[in-house]
Amino acid sequence: MTLYSSPDCALSHCARLVLHEKGVTCNVEYFDINEPPEELLELNPNGSSPTLIERNLVLYDSRIIMEYLDERFPHPPLHQMDPVSRANARMLIKRIDQDWYQLYDEILNSGEKKAARAKKMLRESLIAAAPIFDAQDYFMSDEYSLIDCALAPLLWRLGSIGIEIPSLGKGITAYSNRVFSRNAFQNSLSPAEKQLMDSV
Percent of the chain surpassing pLDDT 70: 98
Catalytic positions, written as ranges: 9
18-73, pLDDT tens digit by residue? 999 999 999 999 999 899 999 999 999 988 999 999 999 999 999 999 999 999 99
SS3 for 79-142, per residue? CCCCHHHHHHHHHHHHHHHHHHHHHHHHHHHCCHHHHHHHHHHHHHHHHHCHHHHHHCCECCEC
Is the separation of the CB atoms in 1 and 52 below 8 Å? yes
Domains and their CATH numbers in the chain: 2-72 (3.40.30.10), 83-182 (1.20.1050.10)
- Rounded distance, CA 43 to CA 187, Å? 27
Is the separation of the CB atoms in 52 and 60 below 8 Å? yes
Across residues 146-159, what is the average pLDDT?
Answer: 96
Is the separation of the CB atoms in 106 and 118 below 8 Å? yes
Residue 180, pLDDT score: 97
Exposure string over 79-100, b if 16+ CB within 10 A, otherwise e? bbeeeeebeebeebbeebbeeb
Model confidence at 197: pLDDT above 80 = no
Is the separation of the CB atoms in 47 and 41 below 8 Å? yes
Across residues 111-136, what is the average pLDDT?
Answer: 94
Report residue 143 CA to chain centroid gap. 17
Residue 199, pLDDT score: 44
Model confidence at 200: pLDDT above 80 = no
